[in-house]
Amino acid sequence: MADAVLSTRSLEACYGDFQALFGVSIDVYPEEVIAIIGANGAGKTTLMRSITGLLTNQPQMVTWKGRSIGALRADQIARLGIAMVPEGRQLFQSLSVEENLIIGGQVGRSGAWSLEKVYDLFPVLKERRNVPATSLSGGQQQMVSIGRALMSNPDILLFDEISLGLAPIIIKSIYEALPTIIGEGMSAIIVEQDIAKAVSVSSRVYCLQEGRVSLEGRPQDLTRDAISAAYFGV
Amino acid sequence: MDWVNAIVQGVLLGGLYALFAAGLSLIFGVMRLVNIAHGDFIVLAAFLGLTITTTLGLSPLVALALVVPVMAAIGYVLQRGILNRTLGDDILPPLMVTFGLSVIIQNGLLEIYSADPQKMSAGALETASLSLPGGLNVGVLPILMFAVAVAVIAGLQWIFYHSSLGRAFRAVSDKQDIAQLMGLNKAHIFGLAMALSLAVVGIAGVFLGIRTSFDPSIGPGRLIFGFEAVIIGGLGNLWGTLIGGIILGVSQNIGAQINPGWQLLAGHIAFLFVLAVRPRGLFPRID
């Protein structure tokens, strides 16, 4: 198997005195989609914040294509080709739909994604390009958030709780669009509370429980009981 | 006719107040920082202009070409070196640090230039005037300053809403973490915002120094005028700040027309009146 593009090694992450992750090690291989599942407070978002540099760690705790990046700032990591669709969409309310997308492309990485391609993927955004981004519906806002991440032409895309707070029909269409979004040469990490959804699109699953990896493996090798035990700790 | 004159002069003075206020409004908008030393930076820029005009023999308006970039550089270094470290969830540290800067600048200027009032001379331009119908005479210099103020406000407005720098300002102002995820280094963006703020302060300081005499102690007073213009106009609205400056300038001149001792008082009363009637200012930005 090829070397992992992204790895965390014995990652310990803290918010002040509160330790949220205890020695988490995960690997993402080229063109692989992995899922990270776990209950509320298991440390999923903390793991995403550590990888993207919103929480800084010791350098060797996160590696990207063989390079230690654990201590880099978020803007430096964004330039390396790691992009995130954050939990709750987090659009810039003072910016129009189009400005939100343009700012995503400002890291200056070249590649297949452009404003036009994002509009091809989500035509409704083109119609509403000049309205304030936060005036859109939740599903459309999620499209902007995904488009904004794609505009940086990332090598890996992190989705933090993409289905949270969205209608089931919207969730379904977003998952249907995922294969187009995660194109050739791209890897992805999908963080989900909905186990079935996460497992359906990923080739490997990590389950977090109270800041530790409680289970990992290929979906077909994991039994429902094993996942339940890892998820709830019972 | 005296009253019309007072109002016209007040409008033109308002342009200068808008210049005092624009930089204040800009950095508050981008990083929620209230720069207590803002007025002292205006005075610092005036002294910088004075030094350049006297040592190089330049006209103050030409000296702007040096004062503005120097002030911008001071702004960037100040933000990256000191102020960025004070920003966080607590609003008190930046207030304390900029208050300290205010004391340092005032005393530094006192040490170098003494407490004597100084003034810059713009030569013949200072006495040139235009005759308007109705026997009104308006100085060319106040008109020029007002025109520059309008141009500066228009320029800032354009930067804020139509340039990639302005997009970055607004993004960082909205959500600092997420802006960082978009590859924007907020420490750098804040530095650029402060540089732009102090560049405007550079213009304001030189104009102040041409218009009136100044000494190291007058900074806090200019800060108050700037604050009042921002609040009257409504936070986050640059054109509102210009209107706020004009209202302040007109009120002061009308007050002075009634009784010369009432000039400042009339401006403060107008400010309090607006604050009482419209606590968010006349034209607050709609969020």
Most A CBs within 10 A among B169, B182, B186, hence the mutation to make, goes to B182
**Confidence (pLDDT) at B236:** 81
Are A52 and A90 within 8 A, CB to CB? no
> Does B284 map to a domain?
no
- Distance from the Cα of B173 to chain A's closest Cα (Å) equals 9
Please return the burial class of A159, using the count of CB atoms within 10 Å of its CB with bins 0-12, 13-18 and 19+: buried
**What is the per-residue pLDDT for B287?**
46
**Residue recorded with tokens 């120094």:** B209
Contact flag A106-B180 (C-beta cutoff 8 Å): no
Token pair belonging to B280? 């968010």
Q: How far does the CA of residue B168 sit from the closest CA of chain A (Å)?
A: 8
Q: How many CB pairs under 8 A join A and B?
A: 66
B89 CB-contact burial (10 Å; exposed 0-12 / middle 13-18 / buried 19+):
exposed
Tell whether B187 is covered by a domain. Answer: yes
- Residue B118 belongs to a domain: yes
Please say if the pLDDT value at position A227 is more than 90.
Answer: no
Q: How many angstroms separate the CA of residue B160 from the nearest CA in chain A?
A: 11
Report the pLDDT averaged over residues A132-157: 95
**pLDDT of amino acid A199:** 86
CB contact under 8 A, A103 and B174: no
Per the listing, tokens 């497992």 go with A199
Q: Which residues of A touch B (CB under 8 A)?
A: 52-54, 73-76, 78-79, 83-84, 86, 90, 92-95, 99, 102-104, 106-108, 148, 152
Q: Is B132 inside a domain boundary? A: no
B157-195: pLDDT as tens digits: 999 999 999 999 999 999 999 999 999 999 999 999 999
Regions of chain B where pLDDT drops below 50: 286-287
Question: Does any domain span residue A12?
Answer: yes
Task: Tell whether the model's pLDDT for residue A171 goes beyond 70.
Answer: yes
So what's the pLDDT on residue B148?
A: 97
The count of domains in chain B is 1
What is the DSSP track for B240-267? HHHHHHHHHHHHHHHHHHH-GGGHHHHH
Chain B CB contacts of A83 under 8 Å are 181
Chain B residues with CB-CB distance to A84 below 8 A: 181
In angstroms, the CA B135 to CA B5 distance is 10
Please give the Cα distance from A93 to B180 (Å, whole number): 16
Least Cα separation, residue B172 to chain A (angstroms)? 9
* CATH number of the domain bearing residue A52: 3.40.50.300
Mean pLDDT value across chain A = 92
- C-alpha span between B88 and A50 (Å, rounded): 20
DSSP designation for A186: -
Residue B287 lies in a domain: no
> Between B164, B167, B181, which is nearest A78 by CB?
B181
Of B168, B170, B181, the CB nearest to A52: B181
Q: Which range of residues forms the domain containing residue B48?
A: 2-124+140-277
Cβ atoms within 10 Å, residue B49: 30
Across the interface, do A84 and B181 touch by the CB < 8 Å criterion?
Answer: yes
Q: Going by C-beta distance under 8 Å and a sequence separation of 6 or more, which residues neighbour residue A134? A: A91, A93, A141
> What does the pLDDT look like over A193-225, one tens digit per residue?
888 888 889 999 999 999 999 999 998 888 888
pLDDT at A155: 95
Kindly state the tokens that stand for A60. 């060797």
Taking CA atoms, what residue in A is nearest to B169?
A94
CATH code, B196: 1.10.3470
From chain A, pick out residues whose CB is under 8 angstroms from the CB of B179: 92, 103
d(CA A228, CA A214): 11
pLDDT at A185: 86
Supply the DSSP string of A117-155, one letter for each residue. HHHHH-HHHHHTTTSBGGGS-HHHHHHHHHHHHHTT--S
Residues B137 and B4: beta-carbon distance below 8 Å:
no
Contacts of B170 in chain A (CB under 8 A): 92, 94-95
Residue B130 lies in a domain: no
* Out of B164, B175, B186, closest to residue A92 by CB: B175
Of B167, B175, B183, the CB nearest to A75: B183
- Does any domain span residue B134? no
The reply to whether B181 falls in a domain is yes
Nearest residue in A to B286, CA atom: A94
Cα B244 to chain centroid, rounded: 12
Closest Cα partner for B167 from B30, B75, B35, B284? B30
Cβ pair A86:B167 closer than 8 A: no
Residues of B with a Cβ under 8 Å from any A Cβ are: 164, 167-168, 170-171, 173-175, 177-186, 287
Tell which of A46, A48, A91, A94 to mutate to test the B interface (max B CBs under 10 Å). A94
Provide the pLDDT for residue A1: 58
- Per-residue pLDDT of B223-255, as tens digits, reads 999 999 999 999 888 999 999 999 999 999 999
> Which amino acid is it at A149?
A
pTM, entire model? 0.92
Are the CB atoms for A118 and A151 separated by under 8 Å?
A: yes
| Count of domains forming chain A | 1
**CA distance to partner chain B, nearest, from residue A158 (Å):** 12
Who contacts B155 (Cβ-Cβ below 8 Å, separation ≥6)? none
Interchain contact, B178 vs A52, CB within 8 Å = no
Pick the residue from chain A with its C-alpha nearest to B183. Answer: A75
Residues of B within 8 A of A86 (CB-CB) are: 178, 181
Neighboring chain B residues of A74 at a CB cutoff of 8 Å: 177, 180-181
Q: Which residue has the tokens 């003072």?
A: A94
Residue A190 covered by a domain: yes
Task: Find the domain containing A56 and state its range.
Answer: 1-81+156-165+186-234
Task: Confirm if B111 and B119 have CB atoms less than 8 A apart.
Answer: no
Task: Kindly list the residues from chain B whose CB atom is less than 8 angstroms away from the CB atom of residue A94.
Answer: 170-171, 173-174
